Amino acid sequence: MDTHAYPVTRTDAEWRAKLTPEQYAVMRNHGTERPGSCALLHEKRAGTFYCVGCDQPLFESKLKFESGTGWPSFNDPVAGSIETTVDRSYGMVRTECHCARCGSHLGHVFEDGPPPTGLRYCINGVALRFEPTA
């Protein structure tokens, strides 16, 4: 269980009221949406992707790329917006990424992305809200 104190906290009932059942399963129970199921996978406009749980800016669209995985992928988050932990679920070791403000599970980060970072932040689209640049 995560005992880290986050700037934004909610009770379980508050999370359930704020999030859809799918968002709750992903963001609060470390689930994964079906690959290719989120419209944000195909979002190409200029803008910012925010955490659905607390509205923190997480990723700028200029750092989004098509990874072919079925999930929105980025090669660098907004500075200070993402924290990571080791995820040993399903018999493998991965790096989980979560929102630094509310602790919501977002996805995982892998070291197989494009330059300049070489990272691929593989993010569940249901955890994101997109706002295009005006």
Tell me which of 4-18, 78-92, 102-116 is least confident: 78-92
User: Are the C-beta atoms of residues 98 and 105 closer than 8 Å to each other?
Assistant: yes
Annotated active-site residue 122? The verdict is yes
The whole-number average pLDDT for the span 42-49 is 96
Q: Which residue has the higher pLDDT, 55 or 91?
A: 55
The active-site residue out of 54, 99, 102, 122 is 122
The answer to whether residues 99 and 109 touch, using CB atoms and an 8 Å cutoff, is no
Q: How far apart are CA 64 and CA 3, in angstroms?
A: 31
pTM recorded for the entire structure: 0.93
